[in-house]
Copies of this chain bind each other. A is one copy, B any other.
Amino acid sequence: MKVLLTGFEPFLGMSENPTELVTKKLAGKTLLDMEITGHILPVDFQEASKRLITQVDKLQPDMIISLGVAAGRNRITPERIAINCMDGEPDNAGNIHQDKKIADNGPDGYFSTLPIRNLVDTLQQKGIPAGISNSAGTYLCNQIMYIARHHIETSDIDCLTGFIHMPAHHALAVENPKLPSWSLNDLTTAVEVILQELAITSKRAMI
């Protein structure tokens, strides 16, 4: 089984992005039968989207798990839905969008096809705070989640997709007194638990 795991480069003045660091730690590893291919996406609405599609077409993964940092959140939050909207702060290339559609003829929203309830329950049972989120926002995290599912729905690919938001890591909270944060170690463990659970669930589904 092949997993495409994506993280993002830093943005909006952050010194580091924990999703880049976690993705690089896990890239190349095999968990159970799951081979993890890591890819770091740029925080650029146009480029990120192109790169994701290229990676998916090249790798033909069984699963796309995208990671994003949600500065201000206090736990691991698998996202329930991506919406057809780009809005918010400028990206790293300086592009800014307001209330703009990601895909002109795409549906208003796409649910995650990951077993998000199961992931949250598993994390919590292992003592890792988690909860389902009902909004991935309208910035790049949402866009990548939307694009991943939209690409699959409009291609021949059969693949589960979903997005996981994580808290800031301690390095970001040292700079910003308002942010809840976890150590990189805790964030990495949480993503490993998610991938292992997905490996187990997928195997069961195949039998």
A residues near B, CB below 8 A?
A: 74-75, 80-81, 83-85, 87, 98-99, 107-111, 117, 124, 127-129, 131-132, 134-135, 137-138, 170-171, 173-174, 177-183, 185-186
Q: Decide: A85 near B74, CB < 8 A? Known: A98-B117, A182-B182.
A: no
Q: Is A129 a contact partner of B74 (Cβ separation < 8 A)?
A: no
- Chain B residues near A83: list those with CB within 8 A: 80-81, 109, 111, 134
Nearest B residue to A129 via CB reads B173
Q: Is B99 a contact partner of A81 (Cβ separation < 8 A)?
A: no
Other CB < 8 Å A-B pairs besides A81-B85, A85-B134, 5 of them?
A74-B181, A80-B83, A107-B109, A108-B109, A129-B177
**Which of the residues B107, B127, B134, B180 comes within 8 Å of A138, measured between beta carbons?**
B134
Q: Is A109 a contact partner of B124 (Cβ separation < 8 A)?
A: no
Q: Is B81 a contact partner of A174 (Cβ separation < 8 A)?
A: no
Could you tell me the distance between the alpha carbons of A136 and B182 in the complex, rounded to whole angstroms? 23
**Which of the residues B74, B117, B137, B138 comes within 8 Å of A179, measured between beta carbons?**
B74
- Chain B residues near A110: list those with CB within 8 A: 108-109
Q: Is B117 a contact partner of A99 (Cβ separation < 8 A)?
A: yes
**Which of the residues B129, B134, B183, B186 comes within 8 Å of A174, measured between beta carbons?**
B129
- Chain B residues near A171: list those with CB within 8 A: 127
**Which of the residues B75, B87, B180 comes within 8 Å of A74, measured between beta carbons?**
B180
Least CB distance, A128 to chain B, in whole angstroms: 6
